[in-house]
Amino acid sequence: MTSAKYDVLAIGNAIFDVLVQTDEGFLASHGMTKGSMALIDEAQAASIYKDMGPATEMSGGSAANTIVGIAGFGGRAAYVGKVKDDQIGRLYAHDIRAAKVAFETPAAAGGPATGCSYILVTPDGERTMNTYLGAAQDLSPADIDPETIAAASIVYLEGYLWDPKDAKDAFLKASKIAHDAKRQVALTLSDAFCVDRYRDEFLTLMRNGTVDLIFANETELHSLYQTSDFDTALAQLRKDIPLGVVTRSEKGCIVATKDGTTAVPACPIQKLVDTTGAGDLFAAGFLFGLVRNAGYENAGRLGALAAAEVIQHIGARPQVSLKDLAQSQGLPV
């Protein structure tokens, strides 16, 4: 196996985030389910945006947030995602490259606009997302460059991508290239709504070896195995995948392997402001620790540290150097 050019390469929906702090009345008036992610069309996007108060706008996308986090730890990072060659698409490409992430996916010349997610944050810090995928859903196998994929130690895929047929095919192509190059493939389940729609397909990806590592939160895990009993679901996860990581908010995380489980506590925080990006940044820390052979416990601690940083401010990307933060806590980077 040749040495890797990248520690992690992430593939996901390139989405621009529009965040606003609001109340539960706004959610009710737009028929939103608090804490969920819904796919919307262009007309719904316009209606929500019109009614929103002053917003914070920044580049986002689940896997993109993770890969920016990995770069923030000092990791060698690359990203594959589709934007349109429009104003927001150019801003998106600038932001991810400015974060020292390699991004070479060609922008679409025509078709739908660059994707946007309208994120409503209630006073308790919970985020409710309404996503217009736009150009992101046009990612296709042609955007998967075999040489780039094979050059990454870990290829990280977001569950949100498992929707359009072309993106699904791109996902499978990337997994095969990675495994042929003796690399690892990780998948985040992204959201319980994804799991509800694609439960059988996700389980097949796990059981047939298409993916080697799964990230899930408690809600997604319960949905995956259709049980409310955590221990039952965890036991099944250990049978289905070589490595599974389950995040449990303030209870920390559980790292599950065939050999057993490791519990890692959450990092203490001063104030919960916005949970957007918590899972994305946890995955960043964990993957960075994994690729640097820090061990599962230290990988979990790096993940907890990154998640704690991002939930104490608005927005899904770090506002400080994660590398410096980890060093200040005596964690390996």
Distances (CA, A) of 157 to 63, 147, 149, 211, 218: 7, 17, 12, 9, 19
Question: 277, 312 in Cβ contact below 8 A?
Answer: no
Domain boundaries, the chain: 6-14+60-113+134-328
Q: What is the dihedral of CA 100, 68, 170, 7, to 10 degrees?
A: 70
**Closest C-alpha among 122, 109, 155 to residue 7:** 155
pLDDT above 80: residue 1: no
The tens digit of pLDDT for each residue in 259-303 reads 999 999 999 999 999 888 999 999 999 999 999 999 999 999 999
Unique residue bearing structure tokens 């200040």: 328
Distances (CA, A) of 187 to 135, 155, 198, 212: 22, 9, 13, 8
> Which pLDDT score is estimated for 129?
93
Bridge partners (DSSP) listed for residue 244: 214, 256
Q: What is the mean pLDDT of the chain?
A: 95
User: Model's pTM, two decimal places?
Assistant: 0.93
Q: What is the CATH number of domain 6-14+60-113+134-328?
A: 3.40.1190.20
Rounded Cα distance, 322 and 29, in Å: 38
The tens digit of pLDDT for each residue in 125-166 reads 899 999 999 999 999 999 999 999 999 999 999 998 888 889
> Which pLDDT score is estimated for 18?
93
Question: 277, 65 in Cβ contact below 8 A?
Answer: yes
Average confidence (pLDDT) over 79-85: 97
